[in-house]
Structure 1
């Protein structure tokens, strides 16, 4: 069958801080995600340690009788340690130049490398859900399809789900969330 990974962007949250919780709508979305994965074979769930990601993964894990593995390599990318007035422009530029790095931040290539490492460590016979964040998710998808960039990041929803499947050395990426 090959490797199957469902890459999930967390549900609607109260903010961007690591401790930001899901909104009431985000909690409803997380329950909807659990229903979405109801008939899908899942054997492993790996999540960013951020509260909003773990809270997104929890209903899926409970419905499948699985534990959530936390992995700091799935934490959202820090663009800069400074508040940037034109952060959206800087984010766009970081997709255009994957080596661009702002003060106290992480370049796109650095973030892609750490996230891709998590994906490579997944066994091919264990369908897995990975719950992460929009920027990092887009960068991870870019590892398989160079067309993923700033505009694709802007088009993501909270939540969002992409299926990455690898069979015989061929990788396919498909958006499967229509919520």
Structure 2
């Protein structure tokens, strides 16, 4: 049975408030640990969000495995819209109501539809074990959809940077999944 690994990016520089936020020094070290983890997983392809923090997270793995990263814009993070200072309340509001969004932002339903469509296309077109690297919210709503809502807001809150989820995937569905600690 094939495995699909969902990877959340490593620790980002929080002083940069856009998609070009790089990883911290510690985040780069953890990206190397991630590459160590994937060395024996027989990965055939790597798909990733085009955001810098995701690129920097998955590049060491791609280099180690001698694979080219295939960037997919639909794996990008949710568009928040107006910047919010109280992110915890905003995130809770979104998880309480998947249609909730700020002006110029995306609802979790919109993010879920976008990321799930991208996931299904990747799963259909690829073969073997693959990596899909993205962001906390994007991967959380994807996991929520794939697990028929077993993956919850509490699971989202407990995600690390980086975080790996291993999915046993067959016949267009997740047969089993587990959270893997890298650090």
Same fold (TM over 0.5): yes
Q: Which runs of 5+ in 2 are unaligned?
A: none
Which of 159, 166, 169 pairs up with 1:166? 169
| Equivalent residue pairs, number | 177
Q: Write out per-residue CA displacement over residues 69-103 of structure 1, whole angstroms, 9 at most, x where no aligned residue.
A: 11111111022x21224332121111121112221
Moved more, 8-17 or 156-165: 8-17
Moved more, 43-52 or 168-177: 168-177
Q: Distance in 2 between matches of 1:43 and 1:103?
A: 40
- Counterpart for residue 114 of structure 2: 114
Q: Write out per-residue CA displacement over residues 17-59 of structure 1, whole angstroms, 9 at most, x where no aligned residue.
A: 2111111101100100000001001011011110000111101
- Counterpart for residue 94 of structure 1: 94
* Structure 1 residue 126 displacement after superposition: 2.5
Q: Which runs of 5+ in 1 are unaligned?
A: none
* Structure 1 residue 11 displacement after superposition: 0.6
Q: Write out per-residue CA displacement over residues 127-170 of structure 1, whole angstroms, 9 at most, x where no aligned residue.
A: 11011111111111101221323221110100000011223465
Task: Give the TM-score taking structure 1 as reference length.
Answer: 0.92
> Any runs of at least 4 consecutive aligned residues in structure 1 with deviations exceeding 6 A, and if so which?
none
1:52-131 pair list within 5 angstroms:
52-79=53-80, 81-121=81-121, 122=123, 123=125, 125-131=127-133
1:135-150 pair list within 5 angstroms:
135-145=137-147, 146-150=149-153
- Counterpart for residue 179 of structure 2: 175
Task: Give the TM-score taking structure 2 as reference length.
Answer: 0.90
